[in-house]
Chain A
């Protein structure tokens, strides 16, 4: 029973490029969450999605960031025109019900 799968594990982008981070939730889980961890900080909530719906995006930056969880396929966190300040570890979590989220290994984004 595979856990939450994130890819890639490491991603390097030049300033101005786009970054696409993928998350496949645990089998049967329909709730997906994205969190960001900046260096020396805790995890910060970004967005909460269910299939084809954004439930809570209160933690998403207003510009350049978007997320989706299509009916088929993984959830995608997309960052357009990346800047150095976007360098962080991005974690995806999934849950069957609303509590007890299980996390993936994360994607470490480095913007050069």
Chain B
């Protein structure tokens, strides 16, 4: 069973515009959520995280929103830059740690 889902395999955005990547989860025990960015042939790079006690966390151009009632989180990138082109994974964990459950990833392409 896929506990964390990223339903959009790909997203294309114009440079300077907003990129919105979405993620849904089914396990109500998840209390910590993370976004990772991954380039081909490299390991995932941590971007931003959010605890379930919050509904928003912001770091520079990156903002993560959490809607617990809908079991939905999103990553907003504003403004989008060509260097943001990569695969983005959302991940979730229980009890603020331990193993991470990953979504399938969304490939973001930012066009100049």
- Once bound together, how far apart are the Cα atoms of A58 and B46, in whole Å? 24
What's the dominant secondary structure at chain B's contact region? Answer: strand
Q: Please give the number of chain B residues whose Cβ is less than 8 angstroms from any Cβ of chain A in the complex.
A: 25
A43 contacts B97, C-beta separation under 8 Å: no
**Given A99-B32, A99-B49, A100-B49: A43 and B99 interface contact (C-beta under 8 Å):** no
A interface, size bucket: 20 to 34
**Given A99-B32, A99-B49, A100-B49: A91 and B43 interface contact (C-beta under 8 Å):** yes
B43 contacts A45, C-beta separation under 8 Å: no
Interface 9-mer from A12-20, A66-74, A101-109: A101-109
Listed in ascending order, the chain B residues whose CB lies under 8 Å from chain A are 6, 32, 34, 36, 41-46, 49, 89, 91, 93, 95-105
What are 8 A-B contacts defined by CB distance under 8 Å? A42-B6, A43-B44, A45-B99, A45-B101, A91-B44, A99-B49, A101-B100, A103-B45
